[in-house]
Amino acid sequence: MNTTAERFLALCWLTFFVYWIVAALFTKRTAHRSAHWAGWCLSLLLAASVVLRRSGVPSGGNAVLWHTPPALAAVADVVTCTGLVIALWARTVLGRNWSAFVVFKERHELIERGPYRVVRHPIYTGVLLMVLGTAMLWGRLAGLILIGGAFAGLSLKAWHEERLLTKHFPAAYVTYRARVRAALIPFVL
């Protein structure tokens, strides 16, 4: 595998996590917390995939599906970097309303600007692109499993968030949903 592409991909994920940790220090206080476990499941799935990927533990997930030529490695890096940019942009626009869990913040605002004009959950869109780029570079079954798990977990979390936002912004969120039809994948889903 292309070590330059691997290093770039690792830098993207490191940037993502460092930004998330630092930005989490500046969020609003939580006013309403929804019982939600999907975020933890997604984190566990991601951690397990990285451990399996790096440990050399024999498993079906380590099955090589394709070898990654330099051109595919470059595309994987572009996809991952694009996902990072979208996630950071969306996280910045969301500002102090953000939380890792499904919560409603004090003085919560319904954000409809920036990437939220195109897709209702652009952070998840960005994360899915990052996972897709990672899977492209890995070329292993574990990557495809990770994509499926990430999509399922983020879809479930988005569903819970939509319910909470509809409860707290009954008219405004219904109008927003009608205007911005895509939840995760712009112009598609």
pTM to 2 decimal places: 0.84
DSSP states along 64-123: B-----HHHHHHHHHHHHHHHHHHHHHHHHHGGG--SSSEEETT-----SGGGGT-S-HH
Task: Kindly state the average pLDDT of the residues 108-122.
Answer: 94
Average pLDDT, the chain: 85
Domain residue limits, the chain: 3-179
Specify the pLDDT at position 28: 72
- First-to-final CA distance of the chain: 33
Residue 75 has pLDDT above 60, yes or no: yes
Predicted confidence band at 102 (pLDDT cuts at 50, 70, 90)? confident
Query: 162-166, long-range: CB within 8 Å, 24+ apart, which pairs?
Result: 162/120, 163/34, 164/32, 164/34, 164/102, 164/103, 164/104, 165/104, 165/110
- Residue 13 near residue 126, CB atoms below 8 Å: no
Predicted confidence band at 114 (pLDDT cuts at 50, 70, 90)? very high
Q: CA nearest 127: which of 97, 152, 96?
A: 152
Specify the pLDDT at position 87: 97
Specify the pLDDT at position 74: 95
Predicted confidence band at 189 (pLDDT cuts at 50, 70, 90)? low
Quickly count: other Cβ atoms within 10 Å of residue 22's Cβ: 9
Summarize pLDDT for 54-70 with one digit per residue, the tens: 545 455 557 888 888 99
Specify the pLDDT at position 62: 74
Is CATH 1.20.1430.10 the classification given to domain 3-179?
A: no
Specify the pLDDT at position 52: 53
Place of tokens 């024999």: 58
Specify the pLDDT at position 37: 53
